[in-house]
């Protein structure tokens, strides 16, 4: 049976196949970056976490949910992504979410993953921004997907939405994308390692008190 985005509870009009960015910005304030790292043979700029508000940085928090361990839950109102762990805890990541007109809510699964993915702007985006290239190679410093992409499907059909890295660390904690969930590049690498194919995903307007007011337990392990 086929599936379309109309099966989601839409928070606004979302164009099919749209990826994660507003008008692409292939540069960011230098102060958001500090030094470089090498990942799978690709050198990229490290996020300057000294510039980032602590609440957007990856950390382990108390989290109460009936969802199974390993489920990813996104709180779009508060700009947090939670990976549910054991003992009523979760790893919490700060994220950027869809701006007005591109918000969406619903369930999906991670059915595809990519290291340093190639980015191909969907036709709808190129109509709005004809200056965009046909594609940007994976590993390019101009690729808005960053080092990782996790592709969200439902009933075997690609929703067009992804979890992925970003060229704009300053957009984390904001409504900034065309529907995809942006993460710090280091966090996208971390989540990618923790989420196998088939990981369940739930995107919600908010999650009430399940995790928002919980105290931090410990810093999540950094990815080396």
Query: CA-CA distance, 149 to 168, in Å (whole number)?
Result: 16
Take residue 158 and report the two structure tokens written for it.
């690609």
The helix (run of H) or strand (run of E) holding residue 74 is strand 72-75
Catalytic status, residue 180: yes
Instruction: Say which of 78, 79, 153, 164 is annotated catalytic.
Output: 164
Catalytic, out of 78, 79, 129, 180: 180
User: By C-alpha distance, which of 222, 9, 156, 192 is closest to 83?
Assistant: 192
Which neighbouring-strand residues pair with 175? Answer: 97
Is 164 catalytic? The answer is: yes
Question: Hey, what long-range contacts does 66-73 have (CB within 8 A, 24 or more apart)?
Answer: 67/200, 67/202, 68/200, 70/195, 70/199, 70/200, 71/199, 71/200, 71/201, 71/202, 72/110, 72/163, 72/191, 72/195, 72/199, 72/200, 72/201, 72/202, 73/201, 73/202, 73/203, 73/204, 73/207, 73/210
Rg (CA), the chain: 16
Tell me which residue of 108, 121, 122, 120 sits closest to 150, measured CA to CA: 108
Name 1's bridge partners. Answer: none
Q: Which residues are catalytic?
A: 164, 180
């Amino acid at each position: 049976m086929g599936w379309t985005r109309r099966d989601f509870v839409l928070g606004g009009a979302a164009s099919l196949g749209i990826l994660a960015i507003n008008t692409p910005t292939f540069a960011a304030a230098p102060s958001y970056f500090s030094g470089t790292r090498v990942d799978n043979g690709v050198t990229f700029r490290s996020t300057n976490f000294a510039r980032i508000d602590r609440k957007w940085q990856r950390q382990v928090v108390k989290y109460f949910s009936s969802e199974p361990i390993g489920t990813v839950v996104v709180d779009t109102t508060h700009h947090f992504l939670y990976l549910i762990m054991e003992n009523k805890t979760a790893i919490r990541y700060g994220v950027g979410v869809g701006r007005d007109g591109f918000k969406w809510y619903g369930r999906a699964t991670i059915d595809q993953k990519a290291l340093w993915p190639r980015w191909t702007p969907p036709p709808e985006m190129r109509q709005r921004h004809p200056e965009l290239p046909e594609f940007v190679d994976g590993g390019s410093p101009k690729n808005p997907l960053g080092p990782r992409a996790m592709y969200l499907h439902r009933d075997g059909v690609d929703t067009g939405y992804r979890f992925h890295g970003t060229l704009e660390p300053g957009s984390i904690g904001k409504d900034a994308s065309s529907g995809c969930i942006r993460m710090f590049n280091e966090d996208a690498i971390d989540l990618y390692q923790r989420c196998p194919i088939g990981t369940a995903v739930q995107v919600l307007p908010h999650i009430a008190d399940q995790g928002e007011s919980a105290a931090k337990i410990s810093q999540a392990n950094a990815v080396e």
